[in-house]
Amino acid sequence: MKMVCKVFVIIAALWLVGCGGAVPGKSPTLEFRINHSVQVVFDRAMAQAKYCWSTDARLPIVGSVAANGRTAEVRSMGQFGRIAYGRVDVEAVDAKSSFVSIAVIGVDEWNESALPAMKDAIEFGVPSCTAYFPTEKTVINK
């Protein structure tokens, strides 16, 4: 039984390495423009990622803001440090607004429900692993 578990772990790790992690456009992705600066979006995305995407020290959250302040990135890195389970890319539209792209690998806490939760955290500044506000998909027209 112990050997079966080891084989399963190795196969799962190889599968994750092969899929390349969260890739905007190929993985579950949410893109939007928001009236916050790159630094504000970065700070809020880091707080949200640390709150919801980091299960322990083996899955670190890394991020940076470019020296010119026009772009930023936040990543939830896999155990081997090569795969981004979740990622947030930010690009300045102007000094007070940004274009944001959120992508997740599509499993566990990095599934499609993580997208609106991250968007809400960026918009409202309150980290939560669940989105409480209705999205366009859930609006019921009467």
Cα 91 to Cα 70: distance, rounded to the nearest angstrom: 6
What's the pLDDT tens digit per position in 113-122? 999 999 999 9
Prediction pTM value:
0.77
Residue 4 lies in a domain: no
Whether 34 contacts 122, CB under 8 Å: yes
Residue 15 lies in a domain: no
Read off the pLDDT of residues 22-51 as tens digits, 9 standing for 90 and up: 666 678 999 999 999 999 999 999 999 999
Full domain range(s) for residue 57: 21-138
The two three-digit tokens of residue 24, written as one number: 């905007």
H helix or E strand, kind and range, residue 47? helix 38-52
What the block records as the tokens of 52 is 């919801």
Q: Is residue 11 part of a domain?
A: no
Dihedral sign computed on CA atoms, order 131, 50, 6, 22: positive
pLDDT of residue 17: 40
The model's pLDDT over 61-111, given as tens digits with 9 standing for 90+, comes to 999 999 999 999 999 998 777 789 999 999 999 999 999 999 999 888 888
CATH number at residue 86: 3.30.530
